[in-house]
Amino acid sequence: MTKSKLAMASVMSGIIALSAVTATPAMAAGKEKCYGVAKAGHNDCATKNSSCAGTSKTDFQGDAFIAVPKGMCSKLAGGSLTSK
């Protein structure tokens, strides 16, 4: 493999990895982000204080969300459509 092909393969791998990290389940059709209802370590994506899913430190952390079906969040105790 030539250096340019190897470099292109590296760039493409990085782009694919980045898109996998930035895509969240909450963006799926029929889903919404529900903040403040996740148990510690069970959030779906990054928070203000952590960089990836499953890293929330406390139960019901206000900036941690899980993806739920649209309309479900308002039915959950403590659920909010905005980060606290």
In the chain, pLDDT over 90 holds for what percent of residues?
A: 49
In this prediction the pTM is 0.63
Here the tokens at position 58 are 């406390």
pLDDT tens for 6-31 read 544 454 454 454 444 444 444 588 99
**Contact (Cβ atoms closer than 8 angstroms) between residue 66 and residue 38:** yes
pLDDT at position 79 is: 96
Please report which residue ranges of the chain form alpha helices under DSSP H.
Answer: 3-22
User: Contact 66/57 with Cβ under 8 angstroms?
Assistant: no
What average pLDDT does the segment 43-67 reach? 88
